Structure 1
Amino acid sequence: MLDRPHTPTRSRDKTTLATIAASAGVSVATVSKVVNGREDVSAQTRALVEELLVQHEYSPPTTRRAVTGSALVEFLIDGDFSSYATAVVDGVVEAATAADAAVVVGVLRDQRNGRYPSPPRSWARGLAAAGRTGVIVVTGELTGAHVDALAAVNLPLVVIDPLNLPRREVTSVGSTNFTGGLTATNHLLAQGHRHIAWVGGPPGSQCNQARLHGYRAAMESAGLVPVAEHVLNSDFQYEAGRRLGAQLLAGPDRPTAVVGGCDSIALGVMEAARAQGLRVPDDLSVTGFDDTELAAMAAPPLTTIRQPLREMGRVALRTVLRMAGGERLDSHHVELATELVVRGSTAEFSPRARSQGQ
């Protein structure tokens, strides 16, 4: 049984791996494995070493220096490598090239089981030991422990279009999601639709909630109360749109228009309509959100709310480098403007849709 360590008296600047190893009664190699996020250490030993690292306020030598030379930024995707993520990566890489920085692309969680690859402290120390200058996460579900672990090793964090923000002070880059939801719904209202449904992403997602609130605000401003069965949330995935679209369109009081929480959802709804013999936009109008390359390639092309995805990536990269350089930010949260792109998936409300949908 390993003894519990006493709170150290050494200062942070004098702490070495040897200091930690001596306090824990293990080898320097074992401490190094913990710092670098290696898995071949017992859970008991890992916990002891991690507690000592926190008590000593140890940070790898790479985090004690000011950012010099070419920066190395960790870009993490939480989810599938979708057309959305691809557009954001384009912006990140473009800004990195201009700043003489390099980008390492990875995943935040194991896509097979949804688990984080290692404990937050080990994960953060591994990034710092590998020479990362900062971390960017896109649509990620970070925990407070992850945020604290990055702060402990002085690695700045920027989250793009966050699903959740475990700390208010976490720096984020997004778009005007509320305005986008409002604009998409107003577009359908202006075309005469009144039975307008919503199919969105994760209920707890902040960007999804903002878009949904925009939808509700537009409906309420028009004197309409959304039907409870016509407001559905699941995932930002094509399959979720197809499944929930089929559910919406199977009933006798089907909507004549659907606001999709993202392009993938909207395309799934369009497929559900096709499977039931309905035509878009003659029988059903559909809008998306993002304006990924899939929107213009759809049949018919998708009316959608354009997020400036590449610019969001560029802003995130420039922001994380500013933070790494010690600059003070004017705001922790940046929202870029959205705009409506009208294509062929929406049309004026028609008597045909009325007779079949109301």
Structure 2
Amino acid sequence: MNKTISDIAQMAGVAKSTVSRFLNGGSVSEDTRQKIERIIKQYNYVPNTFAQSLKAKKTSIIGTVVPRLDSFATSQTLIGIDEELRNNQYQMLIANTSQDMQREIDAIYDFARQKVSGIILLAAEVTDAHLKAVEDIGIPVLLVGQQHEQLHSLVHNDDQAGYEMGKHVVEKGHRKIVYIGVTERDQAVGIHRKQGFKRAIDECGGCDVTYYETSFKMSEAIITAEAILKESKPTIIVGATDNIALGVMKISFSNKIQIPQDLSVTGFGGYEITEMIHPTLTTVKYHYFEAGQVAAQHIIRLVKGELVEQCTILDVEIIPRESVDKI
């Protein structure tokens, strides 16, 4: 059952006028503010009049929710968003959720209470709670990196990226292959990227492929790769991200495994570091900066009430380098 402003006031032990003053940015004591905020977050309360006030008075601020800041993909996307917003006289607020889904939900409501005009959401997974939050706040939300039929989305072509990498691997003669992916809760990386790769492998036939799962953290990819290399001797390991591939390379060097003479390695992402290391890493380049620019353009159009296609798919580009040997 949805809570009313009277319910919030009663639970906080304050007058309705105090809650109203808080919701409209007025002055309340620190203790009262904390109590009201805690109750509002607990019940995901958004007043019915809030969406109306947003429509009546737009701001020039766009909220951006990101799962982590220590990521090349995230930082490049944010730079693109920020540059394009500034060029259009908008400002960006950033909420870092540290890959905590509840913090993502809270950030959506928090941004709404701060009266941002729109929200750009970089999420690994879209749940019913995300969709409810978007419906509750009544302001434009653009999903970046994942696709959902109920949200305007901007995605990289992960299926094509996986397919191009799979074709490259088999064209280089590799048949004993290890693919290290991530959780399928992340549809883009965990599902679509792997599906594209599988499609290319199936077209080739005669391949011995083993699929493993790790996290996005390089430290955990190192542990996974070390266990794999103790059990088997693939000719190539395909990491679902550049971080995973770099973890594979690190543990290989530690175990005196030469790349690419003893083991070939590939990744996805096109991080800058991949062309500085030796050997340079074969990867699929994702245009994160450009994605940020397009995301900013789309959210501005949505804020203005203009039409935006439901899903925009950005191209990717395979970059063959030194880390893959031809068999």
| TM-score, structure 1 as length reference | 0.78
Verify the 8 A CA contact 1:176 1:338 in the aligned structure 2.
Answer: yes
Q: Which residue of 2 is the match for residue 333 of structure 1?
A: 311
CA contact (8 A) 2:222 2:244 kept: yes
Q: What is the aligned partner in structure 2 of residue 207 from structure 1?
A: 188
Q: Deviation at 1:262?
A: 0.8
Deviations 1:5-36 (A, max 9, x none): 999xxxxxxxxx79985999842223555788
Distance 1:84 1:132, change over 3 A: same
Q: Which residue, out of 115, 119, 125, partners 1:141?
A: 125
Q: Which of residues 183, 186, 189 is equivalent to 2:167?
A: 186
Quick one: which amino acid aligns to residue 243 of structure 1? I
Within 5 Å, give how 1:244-259 maps onto structure 2: 244-251=224-231, 253-259=232-238
Q: Does residue 58 of the first structure (1) align with residue 49 of the second (2)? A: yes
Within the candidate set 56, 59, 73, 2:62 is matched to 73
| Bigger Cα displacement from structure 2, 142-151 vs 291-300 | 142-151
Structure 1 residue 335, shift from structure 2 partner = 0.9
Which 5+ residue runs of structure 1 have no aligned equivalent? Answer: 8-16, 350-358
* Structure 1 residues 32 and 126: CA distance shift in structure 2, 3 A: farther
Instruction: Supply the RMSD in Å over aligned alpha carbons.
Output: 3.2
Tell me, in whole angstroms, the C-alpha distance in 2 between the residues paired with 1:223 and 1:257: 16
Distance 1:24 1:337, change over 3 A: same
Q: Contact between 1:270 and 1:286, CA under 8 Å: does it hold in 2?
A: yes
For residue 119 of structure 2, what is the amino acid of its counterpart?
V
Structure of greater Rg:
1
In the alignment, what sits opposite 1:171? Answer: 152
Tell me how far 1:302 sits from its aligned partner. Answer: 1.0
Q: Does 1:307 align with 2:307?
A: no
**Pair 1:152 & 2:130 matched:** no
Q: Tell me the alpha carbon deviations over residues 177-230 of structure 1, each in whole angstroms, 9 at most, x when there is no partner.
A: 111111112112111111111111222211121110111111111113544xx2
Q: Which residue of 2 aligns with 1:40?
A: 35
5 Å-filtered alignment, 1:274-289, equals 274-289=253-268
What SS does structure 2 have at the residue aligned with 1:182?
Answer: helix
Is contact 1:301-1:345 (8 Å) kept?
Answer: yes
SS at match of 2:65: strand
Would the aligned equivalents of 1:78 and 1:137 in 2 still touch at CA under 8 Å? Answer: no
Q: Is residue 2:321 matched to residue 1:343?
A: yes
2:276 equivalent in structure 1: 297
Contact 1:60 1:129 in 2 (8 A): no
Q: Aligned partners of 2:214 and 2:179: how far apart in 1?
A: 11
1:325 & 1:97 partners in 2: Cα distance? Answer: 16
Partner of 2:28: none
Instruction: Please tell me whether residue 92 in structure 1 is matched to residue 81 in structure 2.
Output: yes
Select the structure that is richer in helix: 2
| Equivalence for 2:202 | 220
